[in-house]
Amino acid sequence: MHKGKGMKFVGDSRISAERKPNIPKDYSEYPGRTEAFWPNFLLKEWLVGAVFLVGFLSLTVAHPSPLEGMADPTNAAYIPLPDWYFLFLYQLLKYEFASGTFSLIGIIVLPGLAFGALLLAPFLDQGPGRRPHQRPVAVGMMLLGLAAVMWLTYESSSHVDWETRAEANKPIPPSAIEIDKEDPGYAIYEGNCMSCHGEDLTGGPAAPALIGTEHSAEEIAKIAQEGIGSMPPDQFQGTDEELKQLVDFIVSVNEGAE
Ligand code: HEC
């Protein structure tokens, strides 16, 4: 066991016989220029991160993201918009130099340059200083990016009439739908239409909602007998009296939901 004690075995000339502990130089040797990653720096990062996380959590609890109304594939006037945090990219695609034949510039080249610059940031600016004025390139690029994103977002949102849009896409609050199951029309609806248009007239995978329909009572009666688009004809089976009750029922639910 103690054989060789006091001797030095050196097999690989690249490995020094004296094992130096792998400890970086003391930070006091670089006054004001660096700090320990662990725990000082990480702790700061985590603190800031936690503040933002809790902030966002509280925001989402206080203001749940608004849902729009049910998607309507027949509505050609609907302009889909990305969420606010992508509006700047969306706006970029509206400029002539980044749309049409140049759309690749707007889709790949410009965003690619911006994110590429993010990757290159450590190489572009290697100054040791940590104060903003000591890092003009990094700070300049960040301010430029920030200004561009803010300006594009502002430009994009100023062209949208948010109130009209919200009004047109209002979801139907479930509480607003009142279905009178005693209504004689309900039984007829149940027997003829419910399998496709849903228990509470809000539609299903195969058929649109009947709440919010733009069709008049006469049109609904006609559709019930003759079908429309992909709705097959002869869905309604019964007397004229029953047809009237059915249509009255659908109209009354619609009136209640307004
Ligand atoms: C087999 C499934 C099915 C049944 C059963 C059915 N429908 Fe439909 N209905 C559809 C589909 C699918 C559409 C969408 C047609 C289109 O726009 O192409 C539709 C559309 C409608 C529309 C137009 C909605 C709008 O606003 O565009 C009305 C009104 C309607 N149905 C009423 C009825 C009534 C009343 C009954 C019962 C008598 C009924 N439907 C039964 C499948 C069905």
pLDDT, tens digit (0-9, with 9 covering 90-100), for 95-148: 988 888 888 998 999 989 888 888 887 787 777 777 888 888 888 888 998 999
Q: Point out the least confidently predicted range of 87-96, 115-124, 207-216, 229-238.
A: 115-124
For residues 25 and 42, give the distance between their C-alpha atoms in angstroms, rounded to a whole number: 19
Q: 93 alpha carbon to ligand 1 midpoint, in Å?
A: 38
Q: Point out the least confidently predicted range of 9-13, 44-48, 130-134.
A: 9-13
Residue 169 near residue 69, CB atoms below 8 Å: yes
Res 27: pLDDT: 66
The residues near 44 (Cβ < 8 Å, ≥ 6 apart) are none
Nearest alpha-carbon partner for 179 in 208, 210, 213, 206: 210
Task: Choose which residue among 231, 236, 240, 251 to substitute to test ligand 1 binding: the one with the highest number of ligand atoms within 8 A of its C-beta.
Answer: 231
The residues near 153 (Cβ < 8 Å, ≥ 6 apart) are 84, 87, 88, 91
The residues near 8 (Cβ < 8 Å, ≥ 6 apart) are 17
The residues near 61 (Cβ < 8 Å, ≥ 6 apart) are none
Confidence tier at 39 by pLDDT (50, 70, 90): confident
CA dihedral over 50, 56, 60, 61, signed as positive or negative: positive
Atom of ligand 1 nearest to the CA of 228: 15
Using the predicted structure, report yes or no on whether residue 69 has a pLDDT greater than 90.
no
Q: 188 alpha carbon to ligand 1 midpoint, in Å?
A: 14
Residue 147: both structure tokens together: 């200004």
pLDDT digit string (tens) for 168-192?
777 766 666 778 888 899 999 999 9
For residues 43 and 13, give the distance between their C-alpha atoms in angstroms, rounded to a whole number: 40
Type of residue found at 160: V
The residue written with tokens 């040791």 in the block is: 128
Atom of ligand 1 nearest to the CA of 214: 26
Closest protein CA for atom 32 of ligand 1: 224
Residue 39: both structure tokens together: 């725990």
Q: 231 alpha carbon to ligand 1 midpoint, in Å?
A: 5
Q: 70 alpha carbon to ligand 1 midpoint, in Å?
A: 16
